[in-house]
Amino acid sequence: MVGGGGRTPQIRDVTGRWRWLYDAVAETDLPQDLVWAAGPFFAWCDAQGIEFTDLTAETFVAYRDHRITHGGVTGAEAKHTKASKRARDLWNHLATLPVFADLGVRAAKQPFADGRVRYATPDALLAPLLAEFDEQVVPWVTGKTTPQGRPVDEILDEIEAIAAPPRSAKVAAARRYNGKASQNRKSAREERLRACGVLLAAGTWGPKRVAVARAGIISLVKCFFTTTGTLIETMAELSEPDLLEAAAEALDEATDFDDVGSSYVSTLVKLVRKIAVGFVGVGAVEAARISHIIVRHTPDRAGVSPRNKLKLQQFTPDRIDAFFGMSGALVAEVNAEVARRRAANRRAAAAGRKPVELLDAEIARKLELVVAHDIFCARAPRKANVLGIDLDRHVRDAADGTIIVELPPEMVKGGRKLVIPLNPRMSAVFRQHIAKARPLLLTDANRGSMMLFPARKRAEGHYTCLTVQLMREIHERVGVKFNPHLYRHLVG
């Protein structure tokens, strides 16, 4: 397999399966560098006529060779090898996700040598730093140990052993009656734990933030190494303001391709600052310098990001009408198709022919898009909240006969309950979908699912590609390439 000549293919030139896959990848929570790798690689695969099931280790070698031959920078074999490796990392990650594996995506072997290639960063070089993060930082930042690694349970046992008894039995009884005994013990425990550097519940990180921080540290260190050839090997080194500033600059240059600004780098530096102050123990001067790095890399804007402003500026009055009228248009199309099939069935019955089903999976998928669009338009919730709606736990009838979707605090960013009331039209479509359309999307594989938008080939989880299909529908009908976050700005 060899690369073709002419202009390097770009993802905007692509339609069909490879474009669909790119849009699906863009909707995932994958690291941004992998998403960026998808565009040129998928465009090249489409130009070569490669099918999902055709990809092997040799494909990535051919892709690297094509980049070397047709790339804009000559003599940069290491750069193009790194890009091909990143494309393979993306492909192998997709192979672990059922929605992509079901399409024929399979992992490919590593076609390139693992040795050091100029400014590439072999994973082995990062191993000591990541071991420190996994084995020392994570237990501390999740509230299990002190920065020195002492288990919290040991400190609690020590506190209990030296707890001062009340002056008399009567005082003890009074404290118990007033509830002050437990309050005093809790206050003493928290004060002692803070003094030992332990993070209490409100200051700890959950698994998602830990994963974001780990991936961010890898990005910072790799970009710094690629740019300077210098390897950051410990958290103390990463907490050194001069090194951290240089790493942040390198990552900013590597990621802000269109120069519109992003909070990505400042967010990562904030996470590093927490580790630097609480775990490494940098002084006040160093902490202030890190805070200055955050300020320098925070986009100078309030409210809507530049990228989203460009999108919103495309919404003319006609496009706004088309956007908010999309549900009605889809329902009208469904009703027209059902009426057509009903009339055809009357003719078939008169001729003694077998009738066709009035509703099928294609219509059900259309109504699924209507329900999702309605929920987004009702309160502009986050994508994860819409996809995570469970019919048993989150949907109820209101007193006026409409539908209310109520999401608990643990599902909502900010930790506050989110109530999404659907108006009478939305509620009627919602009920029709649940009663007649959604059952057509259930199979033996997912029949037990109670998700509003069930995964197609398993009983657990939601339909991963729903928002991808909804965004494509909006693009086709409204004429603007959309993303779920823009609902917040259009709905207000």
**CB atoms closer than 10 angstroms to residue 373:** 21
E strand or H helix at 419? strand 418-421
Cβ atoms 455, 464 nearer than 8 A: yes
Whole-angstrom distance, CA of residue 238 vs CA of residue 108: 33
Q: What backbone phi and psi angles, to 5 degrees, belong to 234?
A: -140, 165
- Per-residue confidence (pLDDT) for residue 305, from 0 to 100: 64
- Per-residue confidence (pLDDT) for residue 308, from 0 to 100: 73
- Per-residue confidence (pLDDT) for residue 301, from 0 to 100: 56
Cβ atoms 319, 480 nearer than 8 A: yes
Radius of gyration of the chain (CA): 28
- Per-residue confidence (pLDDT) for residue 437, from 0 to 100: 94
Residues of the chain predicted below pLDDT 70: 1-9, 29, 31-33, 71-78, 112-122, 160-186, 253-262, 300-307, 492
Residue in the structure block whose two tokens are 């994963």:
211
Whole-angstrom distance, CA of residue 214 vs CA of residue 211: 5
Whole-angstrom distance, CA of residue 181 vs CA of residue 171: 10
Rounded to two decimals, the pTM is 0.52
- Per-residue confidence (pLDDT) for residue 177, from 0 to 100: 53
Q: Which residues of 260-280 are buried (b: 16+ CB within 10 A; e: fewer)?
A: ebbebbbebbbbbbbbbbbbb
Tokens standing for residue 75: 């003599």
Mode of pairing for the β-strands spanning 395-397 and 418-421: unpaired
- As a CATH number, domain 368-491 is 1.10.443.10
CA distances from 135 to 138, 146, 234, 240, 417 (A): 6, 12, 13, 21, 35
Beta bridge partners of 406: 419
Tokens standing for residue 69: 């031959």
CB burial of residue 335 (10 Å; 0-12, 13-18, 19+): exposed
Cβ atoms 264, 255 nearer than 8 A: yes
Per-domain boundaries in the chain? 11-101, 123-137+205-300, 151-195, 368-491
The single-letter code of the amino acid at 18 is W
| Residues contacting residue 252 through CB under 8 Å, at least 6 positions apart | 265, 297
Cβ atoms 276, 286 nearer than 8 A: yes
